[in-house]
């Protein structure tokens, strides 16, 4: 059973932390006037990200980072097409073709996740939908081989820490515009706790958002992934 909410009422960071704290699996879809993004969780870890209506794909992201070149990306995409029913996610295909090392694949995944979180943290208006599920396969951004479970999943606290640091720096330097002129106190407290210091815009008054629990999100009755 999925749960949907309003970003003006329920802090997105609370939803992310609840998924992490309860060690549940599911797909978190976020939408605003800017577009749509999603984060995929498995056992509380982020294993996949889709940035702004797929405007940034993992292959293009890796080319931009210099992890692979355009010719290597083209080879991997061709291999995916030829595989048909046995098609693997792009990063796994790159690994099978020995075009990237495992640590590079992890770094790329982490980078895309951080980029996605930084983007959605600017959305103070919009909606989200959480679909608790054991099945987190089939996503183009997913890189989760069973034998590499620890290496390719990204810890939520670590991802939030990186994203919040980048977010704060960009807001402070005037490089990032938010939907609001200030952060709400609840979000600022979480950010300050993770960063170990106050963040830009903290302390501004704002109406109290709805307290959200694991039960509200349908997580308490949902068993652990098998």
Q: Is residue 82 part of a domain?
A: no
What percent of the chain is predicted at pLDDT more than 90? 15
Are 219 and 18 in contact, with CB atoms under 8 Å apart? yes
Q: Is residue 92 part of a domain?
A: no
Q: Is residue 106 part of a domain?
A: no
Confidence check: pLDDT of 141 > 50: no
pLDDT of residue 173: 76
Count of structural domains within the chain:
1
Q: Is residue 19 part of a domain?
A: yes
pLDDT class for 76, splitting at 50, 70, 90?
A: very high
Tell me the two tokens of residue 56.
């940034």
What Rg, from alpha-carbon coordinates, does the chain have?
18
The number of residues in the chain equals: 226
Closest CA to 76 of 39, 51, 108, 50: 108
Q: Is residue 186 part of a domain?
A: yes
Q: Is residue 87 part of a domain?
A: no
User: What is residue 69's three-state secondary structure?
Assistant: coil
Spatial CB neighbours of 68, under 8 Å, sequence gap ≥ 6: 59, 62, 76, 94, 99, 100
Q: How far is residue 71 from each of residues 61, 74, 76, 77, 87, measured CA to CA in Å?
A: 14, 5, 9, 10, 19
Closest CA to 44 of 13, 16, 72, 10: 16
Are 69 and 63 in contact, with CB atoms under 8 Å apart? yes
Tens of pLDDT, residue by residue over 200-222, are 544 443 444 556 666 666 666 55
Torsion of CA 205, 206, 207, 210, to 10 degrees: -120
Provide the 8-state DSSP code for 146.
G
* Residue 170: domain span: 3-55+116-195
Are 7 and 154 in contact, with CB atoms under 8 Å apart? no
Q: Region 65-76: what's the mean pLDDT?
A: 96
């Amino acid at each position: 059973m999925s749960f949907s909410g309003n970003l003006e009422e329920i802090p997105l960071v609370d939803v992310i932390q609840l998924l992490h704290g309860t060690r549940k699996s599911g797909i978190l879809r976020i939408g605003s006037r800017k577009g749509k993004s999603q984060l995929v969780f498995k056992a509380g870890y982020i294993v996949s990200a889709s940035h702004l209506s797929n405007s940034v794909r993992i292959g293009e992201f890796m080319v931009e980072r210099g992890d692979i070149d355009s010719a290597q990306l083209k080879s991997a995409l061709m291999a995916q097409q030829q595989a048909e029913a046995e098609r693997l996610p792009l990063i796994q295909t790159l690994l099978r073709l020995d075009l990237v090392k495992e640590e590079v694949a992890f770094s790329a995944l982490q980078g895309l996740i951080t980029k996605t979180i930084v983007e959605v943290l600017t959305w103070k208006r919009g909606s989200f939908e959480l679909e608790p599920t054991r099945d987190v396969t089939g996503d183009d951004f997913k890189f989760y081989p069973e034998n590499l479970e620890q290496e390719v999943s990204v810890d939520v606290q670590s991802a939030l820490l990186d994203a919040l640091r980048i977010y704060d720096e960009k807001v402070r330097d005037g490089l990032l515009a938010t939907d609001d002129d200030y952060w709400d106190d609840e979000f600022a407290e979480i950010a300050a706790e993770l960063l170990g210091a106050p963040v830009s815009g903290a302390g501004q008054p704002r109406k109290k958002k709805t307290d959200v629990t694991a039960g509200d999100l349908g997580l308490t009755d949902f068993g652990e992934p098998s």
